[in-house]
C-alpha cells in the first residue's frame, strides 16, 4: 500500500509544483537573509547600515546562533511565528495528497484494497512522510549551501560544530516530514481541496496574530502556550528548544500533534461513505 501511495504522490503534478515552490521560496529567503541583508549591513550594497537605520534587520553571520538559524530547511526567520513560502508549500503538499483521492475517486480503490480505513490513513501517512523526508533533506542541503557560499564570500568561518550542524539539519527534516503529514491529515478531514487549503492557510496566518495578542496581554513576556502552536513548535524543534520549552519536549509535542491529526483523519474516514 505504501508503495502504491508513493507512486501516486510522486507522479502527481501538484506534488511536483509544491516541491518546486518550496525550493524556490527557500532559495529566495536564504538569498535575502543570508546574503543580501549582511551585504547591506557591511555597506557592500546600498547606502550602508547607518543610512538605512532601523529599517535594516539585524543579521550577524559571524554569530553562531545566526548560522544555526540559517541552516533551517524552512528558511531563516525573524521570529518563531514567521510564515515562509517553503513552509506553506510543505503543508499544502500534504493537503493535496490527502484530498486528491477524494477528488479523482482513488479513495474507493484504496478502501476496496484495504477495508480497514485507519490502515489506509497510515499507508498514506507513511508515503507522505517519506516524500516529506526526502524534500526536507533537499531543503536542508539548499540552506547549507547558501550559508556556506555566503560565508566563503565574506571570509567568515563556520562557527557551529559538526554535531550541531547534523542535529539542526536532522531535526529540520523531521519537522518537514511531520508538517507534510499534518497537512495530509487536515486534507483527509476536509475532503475538499479548496477547503483544506483555506483551513491550512488560515491556521498559519492566525498563529502570528494569536502570538502577538498573547504577547501584549502578557505584558511583553513570552507566553508558554504560544510555543506549542504549529509554527513556533516547528522552530523550537529545529533549534533544539527555546527559553521556555525544552528541545525534547518540543519534539514530543510535535509528534503528539502529528499523531492526533492522523487519529482525527482515521476517525473521519471511518465515519463516512466513500
- Closest residue by Cα to residue 208 from 26, 94, 95, 77: 77
Return the closest-CA partner of residue 37 out of 65, 52, 59, 61.
Answer: 59
pLDDT of residue 137: 95
What is the reported pLDDT for 178?
95
Q: Give the pLDDT of residue 241.
A: 82
Non-local CB neighbours of 168 within 8 Å, separated by 6+ positions? 68, 71, 72, 160, 238, 239, 240
pLDDT confidence band for 105 (50 / 70 / 90): low
Q: Kindly tell me if the per-residue pLDDT of 146 is higher than 80.
A: yes
Mean pLDDT value across residues 3-22:
84
Mean pLDDT of the chain: 85
| Cβ neighbours of residue 143 closer than 8 Å, sequence gap 6 or more | 26, 30, 70, 71, 72, 73, 75, 76, 172
**pLDDT score of 78 more than 90:** no
Q: What is the pLDDT of residue 130?
A: 95
Q: What is the pLDDT of residues 152-181, one digit of tens each?
A: 887 888 888 888 889 999 999 999 999 999
What pLDDT score does 219 carry?
73
DSSP 227: G
> In the prediction, which pLDDT does 10 show?
81
Sequence spans of domains, the chain: 1-271
221 vs 169, which has greater pLDDT?
Answer: 169
Amino acid at each position: 500500500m505504501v508503495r502504491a501511495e508513493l507512486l501516486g504522490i510522486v507522479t502527481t503534478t501538484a506534488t511536483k509544483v509544491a516541491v518546486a515552490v518550496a525550493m524556490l521560496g527557500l532559495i529566495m529567503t536564504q538569498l535575502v537573509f543570508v546574503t543580501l541583508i549582511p551585504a547591506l549591513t557591511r555597506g557592500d550594497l546600498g547606502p550602508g547600515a547607518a543610512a538605512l537605520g532601523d529599517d535594516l534587520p539585524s543579521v550577524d553571520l559571524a554569530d553562531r546562533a545566526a548560522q544555526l538559524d540559517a541552516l533551517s530547511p524552512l528558511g531563516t526567520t525573524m521570529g518563531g511565528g514567521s510564515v515562509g513560502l517553503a513552509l506553506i508549500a510543505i503543508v499544502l503538499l500534504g493537503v493535496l495528497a490527502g484530498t486528491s483521492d477524494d477528488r479523482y475517486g482513488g479513495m474507493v480503490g484504496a478502501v476496496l484494497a484495504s477495508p480497514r480505513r485507519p490502515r489506509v490513513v497510515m499507508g498514506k501517512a507513511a508515503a507522505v512522510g517519506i516524500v516529506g523526508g526526502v524534500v526536507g533533506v533537499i531543503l536542508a542541503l539548499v540552506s547549507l549551501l547558501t550559508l556556506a557560499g555566503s560565508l566563503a564570500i565574506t571570509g567568515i568561518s563556520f562557527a557551529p560544530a559538526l554535531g550541531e550542524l547534523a542535529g539542526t539539519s536532522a531535526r529540520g527534516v523531521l519537522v518537514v516530514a511531520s508538517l507534510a503529514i499534518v497537512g495530509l491529515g487536515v486534507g483527509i478531514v476536509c475532503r475538499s481541496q479548496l477547503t483544506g487549503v483555506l483551513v491550512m492557510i488560515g491556521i498559519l496566518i492566525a498563529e502570528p496574530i494569536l502570538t502577538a495578542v498573547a504577547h501584549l496581554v502578557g505584558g511583553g513576556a513570552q507566553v508558554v502556550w504560544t510555543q506549542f502552536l504549529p509554527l513556533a513548535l516547528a522552530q523550537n524543534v529545529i533549534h533544539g528548544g527555546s527559553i521556555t520549552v525544552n528541545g525534547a519536549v518540543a519534539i514530543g509535542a510535535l509528534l503528539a500533534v502529528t499523531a492526533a491529526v492522523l487519529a482525527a483523519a482515521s476517525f473521519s474516514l471511518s465515519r463516512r461513505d466513500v
